[in-house]
Structure 1
């Protein structure tokens, strides 16, 4: 009888441990390489510091939309509908962005071109789109940076008159019907690479100050109580004395970890904080696949990871 009880207890322990392991989450980094011509890449991590490329760092999805057929700056969000929704930059010069969805990150819907800036005259680009979900309104917001000829002349450089971005957005509940395009963030300077996360009913906006004269080229942060704003003034730089772009954040417990591309140095960096005010550089503690460029970090289940690892 005693032996039977011990055997049952051991079996129960093994079973519960197996269930716990199956529920354990992993981190997935969606990114592009080179100019984005070969499409979507994935790397995974169990600690959000050390990353391993999946599928021998081959593409998971080849871009098909727009004349340039690029897939730069991929942003993936697990939606309230259970689907993974992705948007990306299709070209250096375009009035729209790319969109597709997937149930498993392996099989994707037909790629679509969303002409989000088609009603604006003189649009030069639609860069680094991202998606954030508002649980209160059950609405998704897609946002990106664009330069519109003639807008915001106070920050326009004569020798760089095609790069004077602000952040614009549309909202949707189903990725089929979209609101009119509106201005989301005008900080008084050239701004790109917005990335918004929800934390305890407050929205945190990470952004790149793209100012060239006097040079900034750094990551800053702003806040709002509502997804569509208004957002606060941008903070002081949270990155160091180097050019940085493409912030990708993840929260681990009470600690924020923000990755960014040190693009002139051809490598990645990271900073961490517990209060979003005081930041510590942890670039020497991270490990990433060679050539990884601007993307997003999100969580997946261990079961989902196992399927990706089999490819």
Structure 2
């Protein structure tokens, strides 16, 4: 009887195991003209190189890809945005894919076209808002003489902006997302519950250039109670995932030209776990999403050709 029961349950157990999500980490390499690189992990700490590029940038004046940010929607489609120009652009790049190998036609989304003096559109970050079934895209831009500043130059005094979309064909009007009264870039929205959100922030002021967090009840903020820094000088490009009930925040420790990570359960106390992580050489600012075993299997096969 026990053997018969096991035979009945085996297909179910196998199907459940096969649906377990793994992690995918987007990245770019220098020079940024090469495009999208990928790495995967089974435990969220140790990352295996899937090489690249998987998508060469074709949009924007500079035709570069920096800071590729990706999320998977409820339909399983991956949506990705990225920085297309270091300076001079008024938008970001966008493409979608079901398997991270075959991509849609690239689009340029001119979200700051209404601001003729805008200096840049940096590090767009995409967040799927499952409560409202929409995508929120946030990014940093400088508009000279618009905001108060410290010792920053006027062309380096950033604030965060956003648009929302349901279909990547029509977008809301661009609005201010965050003005913490200092230059800020590289923000990441983290959902804890339906009315509890954390915002990972890079304080980009010249004395700081480190990571902080703020707290809000909506993915659009407002975000308040901004913390003291929990990373060192010259750190940026954070991304977040939850593993075994705790949050891992990866970041580009560009001052020392390496990658680091901290672990937290409450976003108030942070433990440096950099000695526990492993990333491919040359890995740069990207974001983490989930991936199925089927998609990963095809990516591993594709990486053997690179």
**Between 227-236 and 34-43, the greater mean CA deviation after superposition:** 227-236
1:248 counterpart = 2:239: yes
Q: How does 1:84-95 map to 2 (within 5 A)?
A: 84-93=78-87, 94-95=89-90
C-alpha separation in 1, matches of 2:212 and 2:255: 18
Aligned pair partner of 2:58 in 46, 56, 64: 64
Write the deviation string for residues 255-291 of structure 1: whole angstroms up to 9, x where unpaired. 0100000112111000001111111000011100000
Q: Could you say what secondary structure the match of 1:132 adopts?
A: strand
Write the deviation string for residues 54-103 of structure 1: whole angstroms up to 9, x where unpaired. 1xx12111110012111110011111343111100001011110001111
Checking the alignment, whether the CA contact within 8 Å between 1:245 and 1:261 is kept in structure 2 is: yes
Write the deviation string for residues 209-236 of structure 1: whole angstroms up to 9, x where unpaired. 0010xx1111111111112221114211
Write the deviation string for residues 95-122 of structure 1: whole angstroms up to 9, x where unpaired. 1100011111111100000000000121
Q: Which residue number corresponds to residue 71 of structure 2? A: 77
1:306 counterpart = 2:303: no
Q: How does 1:175-214 map to 2 (within 5 A)?
A: 175-201=168-194, 202-212=196-206
Q: Could you say what secondary structure the match of 1:11 adopts?
A: helix
Unaligned runs of 5+ in 1: none
Q: How does 1:78-157 map to 2 (within 5 A)?
A: 78-93=72-87, 94-155=89-150, 157=152
Q: Which residue number corresponds to residue 227 of structure 1? A: 219
Q: Which residue number corresponds to residue 237 of structure 1? A: 229
Q: Could you say what secondary structure the match of 1:162 adopts?
A: helix
Deviation at 1:300, TM superposition (A): 1.1
Deviation at 1:150, TM superposition (A): 1.4
Stretches of 4+ moved more than 6 A in 1? Answer: none
Q: TM-score, normalised by structure 2?
A: 0.94
Q: Could you say what secondary structure the match of 1:256 adopts?
A: strand
Deviation at 1:7, TM superposition (A): 5.3
Q: Could you say what secondary structure the match of 2:154 adopts?
A: coil
1:272 counterpart = 2:268: no
Write the deviation string for residues 12-52 of structure 1: whole angstroms up to 9, x where unpaired. 45434422331122111011111421100110000111000
C-alpha separation in 1, matches of 2:148 and 2:116: 15
C-alpha separation in 1, matches of 2:216 and 2:252: 25
Number of residues of Structure 1 aligned to a counterpart in Structure 2: 300
C-alpha separation in 2, matches of 1:35 and 1:90: 13
RMSD: 1.5
Q: Could you say what secondary structure the match of 1:21 adopts?
A: helix
Aligned pair partner of 1:170 in 156, 163, 166: 163
Q: Which residue number corresponds to residue 251 of structure 2? A: 260
Checking the alignment, whether the CA contact within 8 Å between 2:90 and 2:113 is kept in structure 1 is: yes
Higher Cα Rg: structure 1 or 2? 1
**Between 222-231 and 110-119, the greater mean CA deviation after superposition:** 222-231
